[in-house]
A and B are shown apart, each in its own frame.
Chain A
Amino acid sequence: MVRVQEGDFDIGAELAALRREQPQIGALASFVGLVREVNEGSGVAEMTLEHYPGMTEKALAAIVSEAGRRWDLIDALVIHRVGRLLPSDQIVLVAVASAHRGAAFAACEFIIDYLKTRAPFWKRELTPAGARWVDARAADDEAAERWQG
């Protein structure tokens, strides 16, 4: 399941809902991305996340489907926030449930790596020097490319 929302999420409640009445789950891996107070050497007072409604949900669903083709997964959840966020705020949750930890760990990392290079979100930071769009990082492309081939 994928969700794009302005509001915050409760990790405990989300993980509990994901594994509810699914006793075949033996491993639940999760990743939470947060707003850092410093980026590229500048303080970040706040961040605004823009997205492409419609394409965002399709792209996230496609990434989760691809993870399901590569690993034996029981369930997966991606929640990504949009709008105005402050340092330490939660941005994204990826949670993956499987019978054993290997698939859960790998699929969780795969989903966040692909999300960062394929889902249409854009971050705009407010720094002491003014507002700026965050540049895509080569390291993120490299992280996603590891999963190819």
Chain B
Amino acid sequence: MMLKILYFASVRERLGRASEELALPLAVADIAGLIRWLAERGGAWESLATVRNLRYAVNQEMARLETPIRAGDEVAFFPPVTGG
């Protein structure tokens, strides 16, 4: 299952990556599963599972841990927003 993932602001800096295209096992079915899968990379990636207040979007809509992900989706991880 191909997925596009974007990282913003402090999350992007911590991971040292702004975006990537990933082939994921079908067992990764939702945001919670994707976080677990990414955290298994170790190092800074473990912070995705432990950082407080991580926010996520699926196809540019705010999402929740149980939001499903499907092939071709655009998923983003970022800290709480601070615009305005």
Residues of A within 8 A of B (CB): 33, 49-52, 54-55, 58-59, 80, 91-92, 112, 115-124, 133-136, 140
Contact = CB atoms under 8 A, between A and B. Distances in A.
Contact of A122 (B6, B57, B60, B82): B82
Range, interface on chain B: 10 to 19
Contact of A51 (B10, B57, B61, B83): B83
The interface centre, meaning the residue of A115, A116, A122 with most chain B CB atoms within 10 A of its CB, is: A122
B60 A50 contact: no
A52 B82 contact: no
A119 B83 contact: yes
Given A55-B60, A118-B62, A136 B80 contact: yes
A122 B79 contact: yes
Contact of A136 (B13, B53, B62): B53
A123 B76 CA distance: 17
Contacts of B80: 117, 135-136
Interface of B: 6, 8-10, 13, 53, 57, 60-62, 76, 78-84
Given A51-B83, A116-B83, A118-B81, 15 more contacts: A50-B9, A55-B61, A80-B84, A116-B82, A117-B80, A119-B81, A119-B84, A122-B10, A122-B81, A122-B82, A123-B83, A133-B82, A135-B80, A136-B53, A136-B80
Contact of A121 (B10, B61, B62, B84): B84
Nearest to A55: B60
A67 to B, nearest CB: 15
Contact of B81 (A91, A92, A120, A124): A120
B64 to A, nearest CB: 14
Contacts of A134: 82
A121 B82 contact: yes
A33 B8 contact: no
10 contacts: A52-B6, A58-B61, A59-B60, A115-B83, A120-B57, A120-B76, A121-B84, A133-B82, A135-B82, A136-B53
Given A55-B57, A58-B60, A136-B53, A49 B83 contact: yes
A55 B81 CA distance: 12
